Amino acid sequence: MLKTILRSIFKPNHQPEMIISDLPFSDLPFPSEEDVLAIKLINKYWVKNRSANNHHNAEMIKTVAENMLLDCQAIFASPDRRKANREKLLDAVSTCAKMQVLVIPPKSEADGTGLRGLFGITGELKSKTLEVIEIDKEFHSFPENLDFEKAWNQIQYAYRRAWACMNIFEALRHEFNDFNPDQSQDWFRPLFATQCAYAEGNYRKELGMPSVLNIVNEGDAYGDYAKIVLKGEQYPDQIWEKKYPDLDNPKTAWN
């Protein structure tokens, strides 16, 4: 896949003609093949993706892109790229999942994700946004004394950035053969779904809200999915499914 991507970017003499014009945030004079791949993905999911960077100013877009590139370079410099990418992916999934359960609307509104009603994900946390940003250090960088509307805007901006990061690392894992060729059996979507469930369960507990799960410690079981992924199992979904056969399978429940 890497060679295919590079052929679409480089001329036969391998001069990186498109780098400067295509990648306004990058000042690399002689980008490596890995840099070119990372920059291409950052463009796709962040720099040139208006759904992701909408309402971000040019300087913020550039700063976020540069940080994304540094993360990708750290992965490529690692002696175990697959493991390093999984670690970055898990961080991004965790961050995105925390905000996903805040942006899922209540039952009175349509839910485009299809997650509401599954795995204890309710859409009830949106109204608790101000309380959540007070209790989770994930949001301690937000300005103080926000009203709901301003807090909601901050959540949406941060959510889009996290979404972009998550998709970049998700795409990179294909470069490291860290996926199931049968997409219906791949572990990424179940990972995201279980981490949304884990995030909602934790928030409900910390806010004193009643649990909507059917089994004691069900929330911890969803959190365990990420731990199995981090251990490096080739197919972590299969390990999790065998360990928790009584829970809904996110591969089939969320499709």
Residue type, 201: G
Q: pLDDT tens digit string along 222-232? A: 999 999 999 99
Question: Is the distance from CB of 148 to CB of 223 less than 8 angstroms?
Answer: no
Q: pLDDT tens digit string along 123-182? A: 999 999 999 999 998 898 898 889 999 999 999 999 999 999 999 999 999 999 999 999
Q: CA separation (Å) from 154 to 15, 41, 144, 146, 244?
A: 41, 24, 11, 9, 36
The candidate with the shortest Cα–Cα distance to 94, out of 174, 171, 231, 194, is: 194
**Whole-prediction pTM:** 0.86
Ordered DSSP codes for 166-185: HHHHHHHHHHTT-S-SSGGG
